[in-house]
Structure 1
């Protein structure tokens, strides 16, 4: 009752789409901390994701590093598959020699900054032994992260037909697909579980194999980084993607004044409706960031120590006091649209396991003891949409006892019992007498 409403609302309704008029097949804008959805268009439509795929490869690599299964200075010996991909000049790549050895850190940098495809496959082979095994890990991790509407067939996001006959999962012309919602959820988990990814994703340019004859300048494909051509204040990630099947895609993230937002744009088009204009994915992303930073702010909707009107206390039995004050343990803060703070109302949910049939607590009660929880909902029936249940739980706080209530001793309890007995007797006599008249 308290948490189900609005978790997965239909987000294709016109109220959000009409506001921004995003020129793309699908798009979504979320507040990063809670995953609150601020805008969505065709959020559950399954589409090509191209190199946004590499966010999953990044996740699995950073997880392997954290668990000690892979080390940054670990060396990789180039396989025939990786060598052939590396020398396809039609793909984004850094030069990898057939007899060369490369450490995982430089391969990771090439993948994250320059979307280098051969370097990505090299990472997949390092972690799982083969890309086929790695793809299995990708799909399993997607399920573990609670993603829906996805299918991974390779580690890069390329079309399988570009893999020189080395593809081993899916059909020859298949690509990886996801929904905008699932892509945003993946980005959200990547940022929350491994925020260090931004140290590399925010690097505007870096030289691969600097000082050698294989040196190549890697300019970040994320042209919204502040120092690049379509620079936008606060942008520090995350991943672009481009194929003929997927069109122009971009998962972006930006932070200002402590507020971070995540955007996903899929098959972006320019104002004339044409695709494959590289500027369009950044133009459409800019619309979403402008909307977020100009129209939303984080507000304290419920302060710490808040008491719900009409429910400031709970009755207590067997205690030295017959009631106890209750209050919120923590504040509730959430990003809300400017001017709409007053639209939200608190909802108190008491823990029925703590109460008897009469709704009473039983002493002793310790200060700080949880007796329920408090959440918020929109007073004007606007649904709250969140990427995950975990995100929505961040707008729910514990309600606790504000003071100790000690258990009364046996004598006091006995006297109360006697008093209650005679009170009931007197009440019965009084009612009878009144009945005579």
Structure 2
């Protein structure tokens, strides 16, 4: 009998646990557990929205080494757009750029002092091979001196709202490697940013100047082919397809290594229509040893696997579609008493891969409770925030917690004629009188 009761108890307990599992199990739409990233700082974001998918100490200032050159690239492309510089412009090599370029212990293509090179030659050497002398030469071309270029870097970081940052040179090297010719900071100073700031810079670079990916994804190229200065350049981003740790879909962006910064990598890859940006600062848990050990690639792969295995982009609101709550706004002095509300742009959210149709929390904020006619179709009447119901609290790389879009008038509402407005006013007056009389009569019986 005791055994029978034990069996019955076990069955009851199992049933209870099964029911509890149904009630308290995590949402089936939830993503898998985030990976453990062996780095001092790391972040992964979806590029088009800036949604943070993974974060580890992403707001801490750390060394960024040669990932600094992403800022050089941004300013270079900006000056191209402004017609201040062109690919064919000649750059005369200074003593400073020459001396640094001759150090073969650093990433470099040797440059001849006093000789002229094109902007394009130096840019490709910097972007593909992380050539430090080339970065200095470009900085001097754009600003007159590296010191003045550093001012441009810090100012641009402020304009792009990259958060805390500290630039002292154009290369990302420790100032001690600059042959005693550093122009900003002390002799052991070095560039610093946060992982979040680096991800945001990468997002701006890709969105504002997508052509950067053509060079960033170049695996091999000769510098000055056909001359005695020819050097075979191989991209240090070994995640690029065809290189040592090649991964399909990777097309950028920049590596960096110094003793202070450790092994760093800002990477980007696309898969199934979604682009992800990852940043690893001071990777310290990978295999191998030496300057180009696999740690930064191993840890980056973990974040890319996590992002693509667990998340997707899904459109949740189409531009021009009708908003449901509220569906309209009141109109004063119009031929119509209300105007419908529509979405001002398409909205996609990052949702778990396992999810069915995503459930979205929305909140509409109108500029005014009542709109005065005339109203034109497309007039902005307010904003709407959208976020995934039951989603995480990681937010977005720019600090917001939800997507926000303009709320627009769905159609024209003409101003009512004077007689129509007068009739409404008179009607309102008599309605008020009626209410007054009714309230008075009710008062007789109180």
TM-score, normalised with respect to structure 1? 0.88
1:107–1:316: structure 2 CA closer, same or farther, 3 Å change rule? closer
1:426–1:254: structure 2 CA closer, same or farther, 3 Å change rule? same
Determine the structure 1 residue equivalent to 2:74.
Answer: 59
Residues 260-279 of structure 1 aligned to structure 2 (within 5 Å): 260-271=275-286, 278-279=293-294
* 1:142 aligned residue (135, 146, 157): 157
Separation in 1, partners of 2:33, 2:60: 18
Separation in 2, partners of 1:428, 1:107: 84
1:240–1:169: structure 2 CA closer, same or farther, 3 Å change rule? same
Where does structure 2 lack aligned partners over 5 or more consecutive residues?
Answer: 1-29
1:316–1:226: structure 2 CA closer, same or farther, 3 Å change rule? same
Q: Secondary structure at the match of 1:342?
A: coil
1:210–1:400: structure 2 CA closer, same or farther, 3 Å change rule? same
**The structure with more radius of gyration:** 2
- Note if contact 2:393-2:401 (Cα within 8 Å) is conserved in structure 1: no
TM-score, normalised with respect to structure 2? 0.86
Q: When the two structures are aligned, how many residues end up with a matched partner?
A: 415
Determine the structure 2 residue equivalent to 1:424.
Answer: 432
Where does structure 1 lack aligned partners over 5 or more consecutive residues?
Answer: 1-14, 353-358
1:415 counterpart = 2:415? no
Separation in 2, partners of 1:401, 1:101: 58
- Note if contact 2:286-2:298 (Cα within 8 Å) is conserved in structure 1: no
Q: Secondary structure at the match of 2:34?
A: helix
Determine the structure 2 residue equivalent to 1:9.
Answer: none
Q: Secondary structure at the match of 1:254?
A: strand
* 2:404 aligned residue (396, 400, 417): 396
C-alpha displacement at 1:140, in angstroms? 1.9
Separation in 2, partners of 1:114, 1:271: 23
- RMSD (CA atoms): 2.5
- Note if contact 2:176-2:188 (Cα within 8 Å) is conserved in structure 1: yes
Separation in 2, partners of 1:228, 1:166: 35
C-alpha displacement at 1:319, in angstroms? 2.4
- Note if contact 2:325-2:364 (Cα within 8 Å) is conserved in structure 1: no
1:410–1:383: structure 2 CA closer, same or farther, 3 Å change rule? same
1:386 counterpart = 2:401? no
1:435–1:335: structure 2 CA closer, same or farther, 3 Å change rule? same
List, as ranges, runs of 4+ consecutive aligned residues in structure 1 with deviation greater than 6 Å. 15-18, 272-275
Determine the structure 2 residue equivalent to 1:321.
Answer: 336
Separation in 2, partners of 1:99, 1:178: 34
- Note if contact 1:247-1:275 (Cα within 8 Å) is conserved in structure 2: no
- Note if contact 1:301-1:341 (Cα within 8 Å) is conserved in structure 2: no
- CA-to-partner distance for each residue in 1:103-134, whole Å, 9 max, x for gaps? 11111111100011111111112122222222
Determine the structure 1 residue equivalent to 2:351.
Answer: 336
Separation in 2, partners of 1:97, 1:85: 11
